[in-house]
């Protein structure tokens, strides 16, 4: 049997790296190819066959929803298994993805274990293989070990574990501090927590969360749920934990400052929402 091929589609290069390394953590022998948006993926799929597509929902030029609709109705291989990766975990979007004939979905943020579980289930079903046989096909003699979900540090710092806390000049261009309480939500793995926004710019947010609850680790992938304008504007902004800091010298401090870095800089809708929100605070 030829090497199993997977197409990874996401407009954020960081997320493509996370998904690719998540695949190779379980199946290092799989071949992967990447596309930065649905339009690029469409061109690739018109020329090559893949055993599985892992695709983001929200992308510029052509969304995951539009790519899936094209694949199922006009694509050269419409039966290709398609797994939607989305930060929208609400029931309506899950139902919509399945109604478009997505084979399955993964909600961001996710662990390598969850991603591998969904990939294994789908490939075993579509290829008619047992999990042990799939693992044999996905084995590799390569000595490199892909990082786990919490080893995103190497992706962000090139292997060094030094994190600079200083904000760049770009961060300071459009930045604001809410004059009144502004509540948002942070999600990671299967956990979530409310947070109080203290300062926000186009690239990051600093907020306060309760320190006595579970909190995301440094460099852990998160989703920042920003809801404004009476619920009319909603963005699920992907990011990672950049900094954690106790608000008091007391080790039993009830609250913690958390800084998240955003990785959706190529998403015009989320950028526009952030800009409107920040401007409204001034």
Residue of 226, 229, 220 whose CA lies nearest to 194: 226
**Owner of token pair 């690239």:** 203
Q: Which of 31-40, 105-114, 228-237 has the lowest mean pLDDT?
A: 105-114
Domain boundary among 84, 118, 149: 149
CA atoms lying within 13 Å on the CB side of residue 177: 3
pLDDT of 87-100, one tens digit each? Answer: 776 667 777 777 88
Pair (29, 97) in one structural domain: yes
pLDDT of 173-231, one tens digit each? Answer: 578 899 889 999 999 988 999 999 999 999 999 999 988 768 888 888 899 999 999 89
Q: What is the pTM of this model?
A: 0.67
| Contact by Cβ (8 Å): 197, 184 | yes
Domain boundary among 88, 120, 149: 149
Pair (250, 140) in one structural domain: no
Residue ranges making up the domain that contains 213: 170-281
* pLDDT score of 34 more than 90: yes
Pair (128, 229) in one structural domain: no
Rounded distance, CA 105 to CA 130, Å? 21
Pair (107, 11) in one structural domain: yes
Pair (197, 84) in one structural domain: no
Pair (184, 66) in one structural domain: no
What is the average pLDDT across 15-35? 93
Pair (111, 226) in one structural domain: no
* pLDDT score of 152 more than 60: no
Question: How many domains does the structure of the chain reveal?
Answer: 2
* pLDDT score of 172 more than 50: no
Q: Which of 149-163, 186-200, 263-277 has the lowest mean pLDDT?
A: 149-163
Pair (101, 184) in one structural domain: no
């Amino acid at each position: 049997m030829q090497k199993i091929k997977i197409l990874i589609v996401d407009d954020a290069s960081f997320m493509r790296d996370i998904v690719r390394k998540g695949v190779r953590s379980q199946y290092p022998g799989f071949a992967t190819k990447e596309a930065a948006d649905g339009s690029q993926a469409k061109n690739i799929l018109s020329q090559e066959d893949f055993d599985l597509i892992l695709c983001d929902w929200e992308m510029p030029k052509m969304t995951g929803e539009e790519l899936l609709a094209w694949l199922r109705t006009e694509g050269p291989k419409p039966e290709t298994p398609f797994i939607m990766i989305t930060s929208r975990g609400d029931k309506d979007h899950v139902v919509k993805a399945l109604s478009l004939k997505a084979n399955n979905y993964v909600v961001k943020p996710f662990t390598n274990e969850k991603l591998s579980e969904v990939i294994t289930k789908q490939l075993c079903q579509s290829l008619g293989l047992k999990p042990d046989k799939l693992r044999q096909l996905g084995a590799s003699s390569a000595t490199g070990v892909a990082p786990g979900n919490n080893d995103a540090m190497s992706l962000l710092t090139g292997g060094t574990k030094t994190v600079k806390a200083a904000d760049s000049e770009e961060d300071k261009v459009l930045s604001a501090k809410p004059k009144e309480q502004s509540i948002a939500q942070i999600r990671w793995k299967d956990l979530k927590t409310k947070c109080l926004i203290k300062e926000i710019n186009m690239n990051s947010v600093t907020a306060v969360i309760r320190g006595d609850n579970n909190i995301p680790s440094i460099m852990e992938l998160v989703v920042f749920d920003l809801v404004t304008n009476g619920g009319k504007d909603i963005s699920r902004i992907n990011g990672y934990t950049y900094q954690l800091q106790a608000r008091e010298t007391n080790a039993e401090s009830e609250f913690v400052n958390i800084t998240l870095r955003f990785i959706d800089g190529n998403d015009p809708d989320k950028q526009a929402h952030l800009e409107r929100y920040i401007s409204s605070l001034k």
